[in-house]
Structure 1
Amino acid sequence: MELRGFGRLYNAAGLFIDHNVHSGLGDKTAIYYRDEQITYQTLQEKVNQTGNMLRALGYRMEDRLIMVCHDTPEFIYTFFGAIKIGAVPIPVNTMMQPSDYEYFLNNSRAKGLVIHEDLWVRLEPVRERFMFLEHVIVISENANKSLDGTLSFHRLLDRADKELTAAPTNRDDAAFWLFSSGSTGDPKGVIHLQHDMEYALNTYARQVLEINEQDRCLSASKLYFAYGLGGGMYFPLGVGASTVLVKERPLPETMFQAIETYKPTIFFGVPTLYGAMIDYVEKTGRRFDVSSLRICVSAGEALPPSFYHKWKQLFGVDILDGIGSTEALHIFISNRIGAVKPGSSGKAVPGYDVKIIDVQGNELPPNEVGDLIIRGDSVAHGYWNLHEQNKRKFVGEWLYIGDKYYRDEEGYYWYCGRSDDMLKVGGIWVSPIEIENCLLQHEDVLEVAVVGVENGKGLTVPKAFVVLKDGVTPSANKEEELKQFTKQHLAHYKYPRIIEFIDELPKTATGKIQRFKLRQLLEYQNTNK
């Protein structure tokens, strides 16, 4: 339908929610959550009720709504209910501090906040600092419970009509925002359009994962991140499949139990989780039934080859490693089913163009390290209120990822590190990832991150922050052992000159190592010597 001034009407809720009911899947389970099985018919009704609830409160097209929600059905109701009325949902991390939510709310100028009760209790004391906030809608386990100064999500929902006509949005309207994970500094509001989810579905999910109606998806990465939003929500809903939601933190035992209970066919994890799950099995000797899985997926950071091989040995299932970004919405380079090259990010996903360029913007030949840029129609409209960063990141059709990569002769892409993480040692570029992957092959190493540090002569050398496995004691002998281990497996100039043992690496909630925080730690240590 074409309306003058609107363009061709398009609303993402129509494809991901309504279409399944219209196609005869109304009685099929869309969401598995604890002991609930929510059908597509019920899902559509709840989405419509949420949209009507928001409309009754005065929300209109382009009004913004912050979501601080666990992975529960209410997340999906709110996300698509807002989109269906043309409002803009903004899911954010549930593991942040009150000052972070002050940033999200004030930066986005959201007039509404939908939040789980346990999270609101932490924010309520600083409510007066939220400049634009008009409504706090609280999701409580007890549907009849209400908190002073807030609205009850379930009470409002129960009163709302189950029929809802979508707002007259078009393909290029803003549909939702996501905040970048903050692995390189302050989170940035990333504006995604109505058509972006369909594009990611039709490229990566359909053509790489070969997702279909019989699949059942489980994402350890939470829905408020771009990776989890696809794997745990709009990929399965986009093909009439089912999703499994887990509210709890994605600890190894929790994920194994969810796999055994709900029998998903596709599991979405991150490298740190795969490493922790492998370590859990090796340490406890427990065995889990993961026979339902036909494929596993990894993103967020490069998957160490040792993790791939150990997982395959333990469970007989491939992990498809890939790279995506919040700005691109989902994965745009990936390994393929039956064509995995461990340690690589895989090949370009159909629908995305990929280049490796030098500092002048010239495309580089195979095996030369340069900056990764991509284009594809799921790339965001841009950042909210960041004019200068938009000019640097979104250049014409191309998105500058900020990662160093090279492509081999077979078209596989290999991650070398963030552009600002690369090290120049003795005049030669060194990838911190290569050193980290080497150290991870040592039987005593659980996690590792490598950064550059000056050696007192004005020269940069690699320093490794190492987390040892339980029961292994840090010592000067262990430090020397690890240095000699890397010398045996890498070129001599690449070995870490300094090793510091640390209890835990700083990470984002997606599991990305925040190397900039390690550099800040080094600066602090140098200042306070």
Structure 2
Amino acid sequence: MELRGFGRLYNAAGVFIDHNVQGGLGEKTAIYYRDEQISYRELQEKVNQTGNMLRRLGYRIEDRLVMICHDTPEFIYTFFGAIKIGAVPIPVNTMMQPSDYEYFLNNSRAKGLVIHEDLWERLQLIRERFAFLQDVIVIHENANSSVEGTLSFHRLLACADRELAAAPTNKDDAAFWLFSSGSTGDPKGIIHLQHDMEYALNTYARQVLEINENDRCLSASKLYFAYGLGGGMYFPLGVGASTVLVKERPAPEVMFQAIETYKPTIFFGVPTLYGAMIDYVEKTCRRFDVSSLRVCVSAGEALPPSFYYKWKQLFGVDILDGIGSTEALHIFISNRIGDVKPGSSGKEVPGYEVKIIDGQGNELPPNEVGDLIIRGDSIAHGYWNLHEQNKQKFVGEWLYIGDKYYRDEEGYYWYCGRSDDMLKVGGIWVSPIEVENCLLRHDDVLEAAVVGMENENGLVVPKAFVVLKDGVPRSAEKEEELKQFAKQHLAHYKYPRIIELIDELPKTATGKIQRFKLRQLLKQR
């Protein structure tokens, strides 16, 4: 259908929600959450009720709505309910500080906020600092509860109609925003369009994961992250499969219990979680039934080869490591089922074009390190209110990722680090990832991060911050042992001259190590 001035009508809620009911899957379970099994018909009705609720409150096309929601069914109702009426949902991290939410709300100029009750308790004292906010819609554990000065999500939902026609949006309308993780500074509002999710589904999920309606997905990465939004929501909904939602934080024991209880076939994790789950099994000597899994996925940071081999040894399942970004929406380079090269990010996902270029924009031959750029139709419209950064990051059809990579002769891509994380030691580039992966091969090391440090002569040398496994005592002798271990396995100029043992590494909520904070720490000393 086409209306003059609108272009061809397209609404993502129709693709990911209505289509399944129209296709005869109405009674199939779409969402597993605790003891609930929510069918596709029930999901459609709740999405429609949420959209009608928002419309009754005055929300129209392009009105923005911040979501501070746990991974519960209400997240999905709100996300697609808003999209169906043409409003723009903005899911954000539930583990931030009140000042961060002040930034998200004021930066986005959101008209509304949908928030879980326990999270609103932390925010309500600074409500007067939210410059554009009109409505606070609270999701209560007890549907009959209410908080003065707010609206009750479930009470409003109960009064809303179950039928809803989609707004006359088209494929290039704004559908939702995501904020960047803040691994390199202030989070940036990233604007994604109505068609972006379907493109990521048809490229990565269908062609790499070979996802189908018989799959059941479990994502440890939360829905408010681009990675989790795909793995835990629109990938399974896009093919009529099922998703498992876990509200709790993804500790190893929580994830193992979810796998044993709900029997997912695809598991989405991040490298730090895989390392913690491996360590948990080795430390407790417990055995878990993960036989339902046909494939595991990793993203967020490069998966250390040692994690891949240990996971495969323990559970007999491949982890497909890949690279994606919030700007690209999901993974665009990945290992494949039956084609895994441990330590690499894999090969290009069909539908994306990838180049490695030098500082002048020339494409580099194999085995030369350069800047990674990509193009594909899930790339965001751009950043909100960041004109200069848009010009630097989005250049024509190409997205500048900000990572250093090289491609080997067989077409596999190898991550070398963020562009600003690379070290030049003795005039030679050193990848912090290579040094970190070496240290992770030591039996006592849980995590490691490498940054450049100036020595007394003003020369840059690698320094490693290391987190030891539980029960391993910290000592000067252990630091020296790790230094010698790295020296034996790396070229002489690459090994860390200084090793510092610490309790934990600074990370984003997605599990990415914030090396810039370690560099700041060194400058302050």
Superposed displacement of residue 473, structure 1:
1.2
**Across the two proteins, how many residue pairs are aligned to each other?**
525
Cα deviation, 1:412-466, whole Å, max 9, x if unaligned, reads 0000000000000000000000000000000010000000010021110000000
Residue 455 in structure 1 maps to residue 455 in structure 2: yes
Letter in 2 for 1:264: P
Secondary structure of 2:227's aligned partner: helix
Cα deviation, 1:387-426, whole Å, max 9, x if unaligned, reads 0000000000000000000000010000000000000000
Residue 504 in structure 1 maps to residue 515 in structure 2: no
Match of 1:471 in 2: 471
Cα deviation, 1:316-343, whole Å, max 9, x if unaligned, reads 0000000000000000000000000000
Measure the CA separation in 1 of the matches of 2:33 and 2:62. 30
Q: What's the % identity of the aligned pairs?
A: 89
Secondary structure of 2:327's aligned partner: coil
Secondary structure of 2:493's aligned partner: helix
Match of 2:338 in 1: 338
Measure the CA separation in 2 of the matches of 1:125 and 1:189. 25
Match of 1:413 in 2: 413
Superposed displacement of residue 480, structure 1:
1.0
Superposed displacement of residue 523, structure 1:
1.2
Residue 390 in structure 1 maps to residue 399 in structure 2: no
Letter in 2 for 1:335: N
Measure the CA separation in 2 of the matches of 1:457 and 1:125. 51
Residue 62 in structure 1 maps to residue 62 in structure 2: yes
Superposed displacement of residue 43, structure 1:
0.1
Letter in 2 for 1:29: T
TM-score norm. by structure 2 comes to: 1.00
Superposed displacement of residue 524, structure 1:
1.3
Secondary structure of 1:494's aligned partner: coil
Measure the CA separation in 2 of the matches of 1:162 and 1:223. 25
Measure the CA separation in 2 of the matches of 1:79 and 1:321. 28
Measure the CA separation in 1 of the matches of 2:63 and 2:446. 45
Measure the CA separation in 1 of the matches of 2:352 and 2:269. 23
Q: How does 1:217-232 map to 2 (within 5 A)?
A: 217-232=217-232
Measure the CA separation in 2 of the matches of 1:30 and 1:420. 42
Superposed displacement of residue 20, structure 1:
0.1
Letter in 1 for 2:217: C
Q: How does 1:38-117 map to 2 (within 5 A)?
A: 38-117=38-117
Letter in 1 for 2:238: G
Q: How does 1:183-222 map to 2 (within 5 A)?
A: 183-222=183-222
Q: How does 1:242-257 map to 2 (within 5 A)?
A: 242-257=242-257
Letter in 1 for 2:431: S
Letter in 2 for 1:312: K
Match of 1:306 in 2: 306
- The unaligned stretches of length 5 or more in structure 2 are none
Superposed displacement of residue 470, structure 1:
1.0
Letter in 1 for 2:434: E
Please report the RMSD computed on the Cα atoms of aligned residues, expressed in angstroms: 0.3
Superposed displacement of residue 479, structure 1:
1.0
Residue 176 in structure 1 maps to residue 176 in structure 2: yes
Measure the CA separation in 2 of the matches of 1:61 and 1:462. 51
Secondary structure of 2:75's aligned partner: helix
Measure the CA separation in 1 of the matches of 2:471 and 2:58. 58
Measure the CA separation in 2 of the matches of 1:391 and 1:461. 33
Cα deviation, 1:93-130, whole Å, max 9, x if unaligned, reads 00000000000000000000000000000000000000
Residue 401 in structure 1 maps to residue 401 in structure 2: yes
Measure the CA separation in 2 of the matches of 1:151 and 1:93. 21
Match of 1:491 in 2: 491
Match of 1:140 in 2: 140
Measure the CA separation in 2 of the matches of 1:39 and 1:470. 43
Superposed displacement of residue 476, structure 1:
1.4
Match of 1:287 in 2: 287
Measure the CA separation in 2 of the matches of 1:317 and 1:52. 44
Match of 1:236 in 2: 236
Letter in 1 for 2:233: M
- The unaligned stretches of length 5 or more in structure 1 are none
Q: How does 1:154-173 map to 2 (within 5 A)?
A: 154-173=154-173
Letter in 1 for 2:239: V
Secondary structure of 1:44's aligned partner: helix
| More displaced 10-residue stretch of structure 1: 456-465 or 78-87 | 456-465
Match of 1:433 in 2: 433
Cα deviation, 1:266-297, whole Å, max 9, x if unaligned, reads 00000000000000000000000000000000
Letter in 2 for 1:330: H
Match of 1:482 in 2: 482
Superposed displacement of residue 477, structure 1:
1.1
Measure the CA separation in 2 of the matches of 1:154 and 1:287. 40
Superposed displacement of residue 174, structure 1:
0.1
Measure the CA separation in 2 of the matches of 1:518 and 1:149. 42
Residue 381 in structure 1 maps to residue 415 in structure 2: no
Letter in 1 for 2:190: V
TM-score norm. by structure 1 comes to: 0.99
Secondary structure of 1:186's aligned partner: coil
